[in-house]
Amino acid sequence: MARKFLRRYLPDAREVSENPALRPVGKWLKNPEIWHMNRRSIAGATFIGLFCAFVPVPLQMLLAAALAIVARCNLPLSVAWVWVSNPLTMGPIFYFTYRLGAWLLNMEVAVDSVELSFRWLIDNLDDIGYPLIFGSLLCGWVAGVTGFVLVRVSWRLHVISRWRERRARRRSRKAELSRADPRSGS
């Protein structure tokens, strides 16, 4: 089951809340709702994490953690989903969101070459700012909603399959008992 898989790899609530570096936010980390593994919490964490992965700000994990605490969704999973945009994928993701934003806003692509430096970003922020933010928010929203729906649907399908398995086991047990019981005969 997915819940067992996630519990194996996600940190324990007690370990995180006892971490000395997190002592200032310890009261929020003690809320049991942000550690639950249920359909609502996992789907919400998926939305938050994927949305924040596309937001072009530093410290996306802190943003995802804060939103997970406010929305009472699974905190570790929302932070983990942010790593969709990691140092290897961040460049292509944000270039795509910039191009998409420029196309949707009917703006010309203003930069010919991209340099991976903070100075270049500050110098070109006037040209790329609106299309980048618009494209990033749109892609984040689409990725988040898609992840949310996929989690909800797959969770529901898993529950239905478990119901059917249990019903089949009960029927087979009942059939075995009726064959074994001499009083139930024909």
Q: What is the pLDDT of residues 48-87, one digit of tens each?
A: 999 999 998 888 999 999 999 999 999 889 999 999 998 8
What DSSP state is assigned to residue 71?
H
Q: Is residue 8 part of a domain?
A: yes
Q: Is residue 118 part of a domain?
A: yes
Confidence of residue 149 (pLDDT cuts 50, 70, 90): very high
Which is more confident, 94 or 145? 145
Q: What residue numbers bound the domain in which 10 lies?
A: 2-154
Q: Is residue 63 part of a domain?
A: yes
Q: Which SS3 state, helix, strand or coil, does residue 114 take?
A: coil
Q: Is residue 30 part of a domain?
A: yes
Distances (CA, A) of 59 to 41, 79, 85, 113: 22, 11, 12, 25
For the chain, the domain total comes to 1
DSSP 119-167: HHHHHHHHHHHHHHHHHHHHHHHHHHHHHHHHHHHHHHHHHHHHHHHHH
Helix axis angle, 118-180 to 90-104, nearest 10°: 100
Q: What is the pLDDT of residues 7-19, one digit of tens each?
A: 666 666 566 566 5
